[in-house]
Chains A and B, each alone.
Chain A
Amino acid sequence: MLRFVIKRLLTAIPTLWAVLTTVFILVRVVPGDPTIAILGDQASEAARAELRDKLGLAKPILAQYVDFMSQIVQGDLGRSLSTNRPITDDVLAVLPYTIELTLASLLVGTVIGVPLGVLAAEKRDGFADWFARLFSLAGVSFPAFVSGILLLIAFAVELRWFPVISTSKPGDPWGRFVALVLPSLNLGLLMVAYVTRVTRSGMLKALGEDYVRTARAKGLPHRIVVWRHAFRNVLVPVVTVVGLYLGVLIGNAVLTEIVFNRPGIGKLIVTALNQRDYSLLQGLMVVSAFAIVVANILTDLTYGLVDPRVKTS
């Protein structure tokens, strides 16, 4: 297992390199002068030269690339253009909120999505199946900000179960939890669609497999046949879809943070856009890309846990 983990971590290095290079290129190979984009076309030549120097744009592109890479290797994302603070510090300050939101949403999505998918497969065209289809359609149809706003209108404005603006002070775990409920429901319910779909189709296949018949021939009760024998085999596609969904989740987390006014990477991205803070934006892209690579590694490592064929072959 350890060898499997190490091997997987090593294969992530070229991916990470490629992804970081893409961010570098995207931010630089843009038609037009970034200093005009940042300062506006009324800016003086002197101001633009100063900014160009500050951004490191005066150097040859290859030197910029080496600087960029060597800084990232040291965990340095550069300094913010607008505040001049180290970007790494700003990111680390809000990262726990985004991670907390993502994990809570994963929990909501799987805890609802998996049983719904299993029930839908067991009784095709039954009530659960109908419900699963509804969730599937809603999940792929709702933009996260639309669902977020509708949740906010329903539960905060109309029903008043939750505060519209949830501010949580440090040392107030209950307040922090309350502030997490609606945002994680928003992201989690959207995720249910994907989890349910893949669970349902996986279970339909698994329930027809020979090993399920073997399990029934042993006289095992229905519940054990379904969960221990059939569902264990559906874990691989479920983990895959959860892993793939992490990408969508990170994108949707941005919107959810805006709608529910939560601190996090998403709010920071909006700040960067409003301030035209390109170095902050570049740093946040690096963080997002890094998160995706880490999510993929975690997904593959989970395969090793749920499928014996992965780690022993």
Chain B
Amino acid sequence: MSTEPAATAPLSVEGLTTSILVGTTWYDAVRDISFHVRPKETLALVGESGCGKSLTALSVMGLLPPAAVRVTSGRIVVDGVDMTAADEPTREAMRGDRIGMIFQEPMTSLNPVLPIGFQVGEALMRHRGFTRRQARERARELLELVRVPAAAERLDAYPHQFSGGMRQRVMIALALACGPRVLIADEPTTALDVTIQAQVLALMADLQEKEGLALLLITHNLGVVASVADRVMVMYGGDVVESGPVHAFFARPTHPYSEALLAAMPRIEGDLPLQPIPGQVPSLTEMPVGCRFQTRCPIRDERCAVLPPMTTVAGDPDHRVRCWARVEA
């Protein structure tokens, strides 16, 4: 793994808090989270829906819906540019150029009325001053890079003529057009068939290696995490509850929520029955004070009314957990 310090990593987030307006009150949907992603590294952001993963991604991209959601504190630095301090034109210039994003729904994320080639090359015209013809030529190369068959003939095709897996490849090509340093992939394979999932993941890993990308992968699928991630960050109710290198995490899942996620994960060996996590993530307005997992936690006690700090696991400074019951002496 790279030894580059966190401050100069392509993506570094310090104390990010993002709030949502419900009625007339702002609620913290992402609370004080910090992480960084180095070149060629994959950080997986894990948790059920409603845990603040996508909100984290949109905060980094600066794509939050303006009136109802906002970053209330923290710093987001992308390739040396402080996105939180920057004005909108600066953020706009960063998006699609030095940071790209792939979304969950390949079926709806491409514009149905614009040709594929144009959509892939559009960012190059915006950020690199390419002419339409140059962008088209580069779009063909990009489609070949993501292994869309007969790329040259499909530049003028429209999204409805592509399968889901092919569309997600197009989305990847689109996000990589300007050669970004950071790529955020929000559930990139969730909507795809299992065999297609594997192909798309392999493609992403391959491209990441070639382009030296820092990849922030958002998923609820621990199988995907095990196969492609370098580090894991588990989120619950907007808090990071556990983070660490992928092997350490799977060897010793420590937070009760991590344990529950792993127990709920289907395995090929399958000797243990699946154990769904009881209950559901409370809505933002009903979050308990202190540790937010306490409403569903099997080992909660009176200490949980205060949010626990992140502490190390088994003396490993990279593996950390946020739970009073797991604090080591």
Instruction: Give the docked Cα–Cα distance between A308 and B101 (Å).
Output: 26
Instruction: Give the docked Cα–Cα distance between A229 and B123 (Å).
Output: 13
Query: Closest residue to A206 on the B side, CB-wise?
Result: B111
In angstroms, how far is the closest chain B Cβ from the Cβ of A50? 62
Segment from B45-53, B91-99, B147-155, B236-244 that makes contact with A: B91-99
A211 touches B108 (CB 8 A): yes
Instruction: Give the docked Cα–Cα distance between A228 and B108 (Å).
Output: 16
Contacts of A312 in B (CB 8 A): 158, 160-161
Query: Closest residue to A213 on the B side, CB-wise?
Result: B63
Segment from A2-10, A64-72, A215-223 that makes contact with B: A215-223
Which chain A residues in 276-313 approach chain B with CB under 8 Å?
A: 306-309, 312-313
In angstroms, how far is the closest chain B Cβ from the Cβ of A145? 39
> Would you call A210 an interface residue if the criterion is a C-beta within 8 Å of the partner chain's C-beta atoms?
yes
A218 touches B123 (CB 8 A): yes
With A309-B158, A309-B160, A313-B160 in contact, do A217 and B95 touch (Cβ < 8 Å)? Answer: yes
Query: Closest residue to A220 on the B side, CB-wise?
Result: B126
Which chain A residues in 210-266 approach chain B with CB under 8 Å?
A: 210-211, 213-221, 224, 228-229, 232-233, 235
Contacts of A211 in B (CB 8 A): 108-112
A218 touches B112 (CB 8 A): no
Instruction: Give the docked Cα–Cα distance between A272 and B172 (Å).
Output: 66
Which chain B residues in 149-192 approach chain A with CB under 8 Å?
A: 158, 160-161, 171, 174-175
Contacts of A306 in B (CB 8 A): 113
Contacts of A216 in B (CB 8 A): 63, 95
> Would you call A45 an interface residue if the criterion is a C-beta within 8 Å of the partner chain's C-beta atoms?
no
Contacts of B61 in A (CB 8 A): 217
Which chain B residues in 82-107 approach chain A with CB under 8 Å?
A: 92-97, 100-101, 103, 105
Contacts of B108 in A (CB 8 A): 209-211
> Would you call B127 an interface residue if the criterion is a C-beta within 8 Å of the partner chain's C-beta atoms?
yes
With A209-B108, A210-B108, A313-B160 in contact, do A220 and B96 touch (Cβ < 8 Å)? Answer: yes
Contact of A219 among B94, B115, B160, B171 (CB under 8 A): B94
Instruction: Give the docked Cα–Cα distance between A42 and B258 (Å).
Output: 99
A219 touches B105 (CB 8 A): no
Contacts of B112 in A (CB 8 A): 211, 233, 307-309
Contact of B63 among A209, A217, A229 (CB under 8 A): A217
In angstroms, how far is the closest chain A Cβ from the Cβ of B87? 13
> Would you call B41 an interface residue if the criterion is a C-beta within 8 Å of the partner chain's C-beta atoms?
no
Contacts of B100 in A (CB 8 A): 217
Contacts of B109 in A (CB 8 A): 210-211, 213-214
The interface size of chain A toward B, counting residues with CB under 8 Å, comes to: 24
B103 touches A210 (CB 8 A): yes
> Would you call B114 an interface residue if the criterion is a C-beta within 8 Å of the partner chain's C-beta atoms?
yes
Instruction: Give the docked Cα–Cα distance between A210 and B63 (Å).
Output: 12
> Would you call B28 an interface residue if the criterion is a C-beta within 8 Å of the partner chain's C-beta atoms?
no
B96 touches A217 (CB 8 A): yes
In angstroms, how far is the closest chain A Cβ from the Cβ of B60? 11
Instruction: Give the docked Cα–Cα distance between A163 and B272 (Å).
Output: 90
B111 touches A229 (CB 8 A): yes
Contacts of A229 in B (CB 8 A): 111, 114
Contact of A214 among B111, B115, B126, B160 (CB under 8 A): B111
Contacts of A219 in B (CB 8 A): 92-97, 123, 126-127
Instruction: Give the docked Cα–Cα distance between A213 and B127 (Å).
Output: 17
Contacts of A235 in B (CB 8 A): 113
Contacts of B110 in A (CB 8 A): 211, 214
A218 touches B174 (CB 8 A): yes
A220 touches B122 (CB 8 A): yes
Instruction: Give the docked Cα–Cα distance between A192 and B96 (Å).
Output: 37
A218 touches B103 (CB 8 A): no
Query: Closest residue to A217 on the B side, CB-wise?
Result: B101
Query: Closest residue to A208 on the B side, CB-wise?
Result: B65
Contacts of B160 in A (CB 8 A): 308-309, 312-313
Contacts of B103 in A (CB 8 A): 210, 213-214, 217
Instruction: Give the docked Cα–Cα distance between A308 and B110 (Å).
Output: 13
B114 touches A232 (CB 8 A): yes
In angstroms, how far is the closest chain A Cβ from the Cβ of B222? 25
Instruction: Give the docked Cα–Cα distance between A229 and B126 (Å).
Output: 14
Instruction: Give the docked Cα–Cα distance between A217 and B114 (Å).
Output: 16
Instruction: Give the docked Cα–Cα distance between A219 and B96 (Å).
Output: 5
B96 touches A232 (CB 8 A): no
A214 touches B174 (CB 8 A): yes
Instruction: Give the docked Cα–Cα distance between A219 and B114 (Å).
Output: 17
In angstroms, how far is the closest chain B Cβ from the Cβ of A302? 13
Query: Closest residue to B106 on the A side, CB-wise?
Result: A210
B93 touches A232 (CB 8 A): no
B92 touches A221 (CB 8 A): yes
B158 touches A218 (CB 8 A): no
Instruction: Give the docked Cα–Cα distance between A214 and B122 (Å).
Output: 11
Contacts of A307 in B (CB 8 A): 112-113
Given contacts A219-B96, A308-B113, 10 further A-B contacts (CB under 8 A): A211-B109, A211-B110, A213-B63, A218-B123, A218-B174, A219-B93, A229-B114, A233-B111, A308-B115, A309-B112
Q: B residues near A, CB below 8 A?
A: 61, 63, 92-97, 100-101, 103, 105, 108-115, 122-123, 126-127, 158, 160-161, 171, 174-175
The 4 lowest CB-CB distance pairs between A and B, nearest first, are A218-B96, A219-B95, A219-B96, A210-B108
13 contacts between A and B (CB under 8 A): A209-B108, A210-B108, A211-B111, A211-B112, A214-B111, A214-B171, A215-B111, A218-B95, A219-B94, A219-B97, A220-B96, A232-B114, A313-B160
